[in-house]
Amino acid sequence: MPAKTPPRRAEELEREYVIPLRPSQHQPSRRRRAGHALETVRRFVVRHMKGKPEDIWIDPRLNERIWERGIQHIPRQVRVKAIRFEDGLIEVDLLEEE
C-alpha cells in the first residue's frame, strides 16, 4: 500500500473576499465597534485562509477604511484581497473599488 503524500500547498494563494461587518455593528458597545470590526476581519481571514492570527498583516488602508467615519459608524462590509505566502504570512489588502 503506497504511503499517502500530503497535499502540496501552492507557493502563493490569492483570494478576494467580501467580509460582512454587520455583526460588529450590533454585538459590541458603540465605543468598541471599529476594533471589533478589525478582529472580525482577522477571524474571517484565519478561518478562510487556514492561517494563524499572529501571522496576519492588515494593510493600513483597510484600517483607515474601517475607521473612516469614526469608532461608531463602521461600514457594513469590506472587499479585501488576501494573499498567503509560502512562509505562512497572510497579507490582507483593501480591494480598490472601480
Q: Any idea where the domains of the chain sit in the sequence? A: 20-94
Secondary structure of 33-88 as H, E, C letters: HHHHHHHHHHHHHHHHHCCCHHHEEECHHHHHHHHCCCCCCCCCEEEEEEEECCCC
Element (DSSP H or E) covering residue 24: helix 23-26
The whole-number pLDDT of residue 10 equals 57
The whole-number pLDDT of residue 53 equals 93
The whole-number pLDDT of residue 54 equals 95
The whole-number pLDDT of residue 11 equals 76
Alpha carbon dihedral 71, 77, 80, 84, in 10-degree steps, equals: 90
The whole-number pLDDT of residue 96 equals 80
The whole-number pLDDT of residue 71 equals 94
Q: Output the tens digit of pLDDT for each of the chain's 98 residues.
A: 666 666 655 578 999 999 999 998 899 899 999 999 999 999 999 999 999 999 999 999 999 999 999 999 999 999 999 999 999 999 999 998 65
What CATH number belongs to 20-94?
3.10.440.10
pTM for the model stands at 0.84
